[in-house]
Structure 1
Amino acid sequence: MKTVLSLCAILLLSACQSNNSAELNQCAQQNYQCETSCVNSNTPETMSHQICNNECIETFNQCKVQAQQLTKSKTRQYQ
């Protein structure tokens, strides 16, 4: 389970880095820290662990939307 979690975090980080958005990188880093906290504070493959992971994903998705909106507004500003 830890291997899968680490792999997901690496994929998220690499996907965000290819976009070169500092905001998206920050979202990915926060998500990695959140999921690491879930692993460390909950027994793997339990309902509490899944709930914790789901909360991390929801927070990441909200952060990603905000980062994309911020990136778009920055792009418009400099055009």
Structure 2
Amino acid sequence: MMKAVEAKRKAHSVRPAGRKPVSRRFSTLEVCHLFDISKATLYRWEREGLISTPPRDWRNWRLYTTTNLEEIKRIIRRRATN
């Protein structure tokens, strides 16, 4: 059973040569719902330099990366302990 799961996982991790792996991007709304914070809070943290500036799409909308999510988690954890 475990071998079948591992084989399936490996099959999905293979990508065509020369292609970059696609990393998941999150919209502002998704991030706000995920962490239960407001857009104003998210934008303020970005403005204050607490999180790195997320890349933007062709519409100039923010697309948060997993790195951004880790930064947000760190901020929330730090504020919860204070």
What TM-score comes out, normalization by structure 1 length?
Answer: 0.37
1 or 2 for the larger relative contact order (CA 8 Å, sep ≥6)? 1
Instruction: Please identify which structure carries the higher helix content.
Output: 1
Largest Rg, 1 or 2: 2
